[in-house]
Chain A
Amino acid sequence: MINKGQINSEELKIQGLLDRYVRFRSANNKFNDNHLDDDTLTAFVEGKLDVRESPAIIKHLVDCSFCLHVTGELAKMNTVFAEDEVMSSASETQPTKVSEVLSGLLSRIFGINDGAVFAHEEKEDNKTEEKVKTDK
């Protein structure tokens, strides 16, 4: 018969051993290329996956250190940004016209000139209109 003192001591030792083991195991997990996509990672972290959908995801997380790490980081952000979810989403500053936003970004990053962006957008707008018409 083991007394309570021994059990506590054993529990502490097993926790330490387990801590070392799981860290070692994760550090030596080989990454594969089949990582979970952003959409699935988000749904999991937000608890949106049900009992049918979750087992395969949880199994993947147990075996894939990379995706485990991503969900760990997202879970930390969940807490940090929790208040943002209930805050008013409106920003204080008015956004600029989106074409300006996009053309500014693209020209800065890729050196594309504004005209090219606007032309591209106009084409997309036409496409969208066509799509709506088709749907109707």
Chain B
Amino acid sequence: MLVELRNIVYNTPVIMTPEIIQHEYLLDECDGVIEEIFAKCGENAPNFGVGLEWFKESLHRTARKYLFANSPQTLTANEVKSFFGELQTDNLFLALACSSGNERAWWEFDHQHRAYLERIARHLASSETNAQDVVDTVYVELYGTRMVDGARVSKFSTYSGRGSLRGWLRTVVWHSLVDLHRTSHDEVSLDEMTENVGEGYTQASFAEPSLDGEVEMIDQLTRERYRRTTLTAIEKAFSDLDNHEKLLLLYYHVENLKLREIAKLVEIPTSPLRDWFQRKSAQRESNPEAKIHESTVMRWLEKTYGKVLKSFRTELLSNNGLKEAELDICLEIATQDLASPNLYRNLMTTQP
């Protein structure tokens, strides 16, 4: 019944799989909880003009997006209720009201968040003018100027309540600034927007690093072979890591996040990143709420380096049949080439 109704409302065909039917039943079972949440939100903001069915549909949408899309069929009603309990429902209530243009809600939003928006924009933008432009653009986007089927599309309607409204606003401001920058620099590509990534790797010239000392004795072809073997080994070692370990390395080495910034990212006790790293930690079992310090993140990094080194050695020694001395040569060549950014570029250009 609900699915049929949704088909009519959204004009989108939904295939009635057993999974979807089960999810719809679960949502029906959560009606009471949603009504309770709605009542609380209504008490806090009685003049926002948000109706129960509208609010309910919004929560259902959030559940479908985050919970059902990633869950097996074995979800229980309690898990869905608990999911709804974790949502930032007051923020969602405000966002829904603003999306409909409710005057009181906009006043509240402006009152609570405008100064914050301006601080973020000033922090990110290169000038005061840019900051003001961004705030203006964000307000317009939030209000919505695009019409679809006669209805105004407000950016607020994409907020789900899964994260905080302020966190979401930060993301919206960041994207607006990128868009503003791209508009004013037509030639700037998305690649260039990530200008700090890979700086210096796009040079056109591929000068060979100079050879010296002991390495000079190695034949050029042999050297090339060692280089390729080294690249293959490091690629393999990286790809063998778990995704959360890769992400840690990328944040630290590519995005240049400080240890405390990574620690902040995983400080929430329920953070899955933290959970993965501390799965077998006795401290975690005894005190799951313990703060994550920079030293903890450093240990995770060291552990990951150790894993890479082990895998790198195995690849060279066991899988490629190199001797210990040759492994030293591989590392030596790689280390010398680190002085030049061309190690991988050379390899890419010489590979068949």
Contact = CB atoms under 8 A, between A and B. Distances in A.
Interface of A: 10-11, 13-28, 31, 37-43, 45-56, 58-59, 61-62, 65-66, 68-70, 72-82, 84-85, 89-99, 101-102, 105-106, 108-110, 120-121, 124-125, 127-129, 131-132, 134-136
A46 B270 contact: no
B116 A89 contact: yes
Contact of B272 (A26, A54, A62): A54
With a 10 A CB-CB cut-off, give which of B101, B102, B193 has the most chain A CB atoms.
B101
A59 B51 contact: no
B107 A22 contact: no
A59 to B, nearest CB: 5
B272 A49 contact: yes
B308 A132 contact: no
Contacts of A58: 243-244, 247, 273
Given A65-B197, A74-B170, A102-B143, A84 B250 contact: no
B262 interface: yes
Interface string B228-272: 001100110010000110110111011111101110111110111
B100 interface: yes
Contacts of A18: 234, 238, 249, 253, 305, 308
Nearest to B241: A62
A59 B158 contact: no
Closest 6 CB pairs of A and B: A27-B198, A135-B51, A72-B255, A124-B101, A47-B268, A98-B106
Nearest to A98: B106
A75 B264 contact: yes
Contact of B66 (A13, A20, A49, A55): A49
Contacts of B274: 47
Contact of A50 (B234, B235, B270): B270
Interface of B: 49-54, 65-67, 70-71, 86, 100-103, 106-107, 110-116, 119-120, 123-124, 136-137, 139-140, 143, 145, 152, 158-160, 162-164, 166-168, 170-172, 174-175, 190-191, 193-194, 196-198, 201-202, 230-231, 234-235, 238, 243-244, 246-247, 249-251, 253-258, 260-262, 264-268, 270-275, 305-306, 308-309, 312, 331, 334-335, 338, 341, 343-345
A47 B253 contact: no
Contacts of B257: 72, 75-76
Contacts of A26: 197-198, 250, 254
Contact of A135 (B54, B123, B261): B54
Given A72-B251, A93-B115, 10 more contacts: A13-B331, A26-B250, A38-B158, A51-B275, A52-B67, A72-B255, A78-B261, A91-B115, A106-B140, A131-B54
Nearest to B304: A18
Given A47-B267, A76-B261, A22 B250 contact: yes
A46 B306 CA distance: 29
Contacts of B234: 17-18, 21
Given A45-B265, A82-B264, A102-B139, A15 B305 contact: yes
